Amino acid sequence: MRNDTVLFLLLFACLPLAGRVSAAAPPGAQLCEACHGPNGVSIQKTIPTIAGMSAFYLDGQILAYQKGRRYCPEGKTPAEPAGVMCAIAKRLSSAEYSAIDKYFAAQKFTAAKQSWDPKLASAGKQIHESECARCHTNGGSVADDDAGILAGQWSPYLQQAFQEYQSGNRVMPDQMKPKIDALRTDQVNALIQYYASESPP
């Protein structure tokens, strides 16, 4: 089966998840919006919002998928986001993903509408300020940190990301690894609740 046919099938499988694809997106970005939501604002709890993240950070994530440095299994069905992400990332040229990432960087991040545990969020804030704030400033809400946006992401996605880091399936910066490795399960849960309670300004 041709690559274009496979990608069409992957896109078709994801469209019901997003509900509507933005007509304003540049060519190629529609494939991202099909799963990450119109303008990159996700409505799927295991898929991150990419709107408002820095283009530098997004470029790095595409490269990580292309070079196998970020967990990217072949999903069991075409509807599984991991399989879709692999196929799309490997198809894009540097010029294509650079243009797409600049588009999403220009969009407004919208925090996920979700509940959180205030007590755990308070504990998570203390852990964040002690261990994470040097690279993820203002509660992980600043795109210019070039470290992604944590504040306001879906908590199931954050849980999945922590699991990938702790299992070694997702490569992380050298300075981040000892901090992640030292976290207990209750501390991870507290951090997730804190980030779920936050929202970028």
Q: Domain-by-domain residue ranges, the chain?
A: 3-105, 118-197
* pTM value > 0.95: no
State the CATH architecture for 3-105: Orthogonal Bundle (1.10)
| Burial class of residue 64 in the structure, from the number of CB atoms within 10 Å of its CB (0-12 exposed, 13-18 middle, 19+ buried) | middle
As a whole number, mean pLDDT of residues 79-103 equals 83
In this predicted structure, what is the pLDDT of residue 19?
Answer: 45
Q: What are φ and ψ of residue 30, in 5° steps?
A: -60, -35
If one compares 86 and 102, the residue with the highest pLDDT of the two is 102
Do 3-105 and 118-197 show the same overall fold? yes
In this predicted structure, what is the pLDDT of residue 170?
Answer: 85
Distance CA 82, CA 93 (A): 19
In this predicted structure, what is the pLDDT of residue 144?
Answer: 96
Contacts of 68 (CB under 8 A, 6+ apart): none
Can you identify the CATH homologous superfamily of domain 118-197? Cytochrome c-like domain (1.10.760.10)
If one compares 8 and 97, the residue with the highest pLDDT of the two is 97
In this predicted structure, what is the pLDDT of residue 6?
Answer: 44
Token pair of 83, please?
């399989």
Structure-token match 């309670």, residue found: 197
Range of weakest confidence among 33-37, 98-102, 132-136, 193-197: 33-37
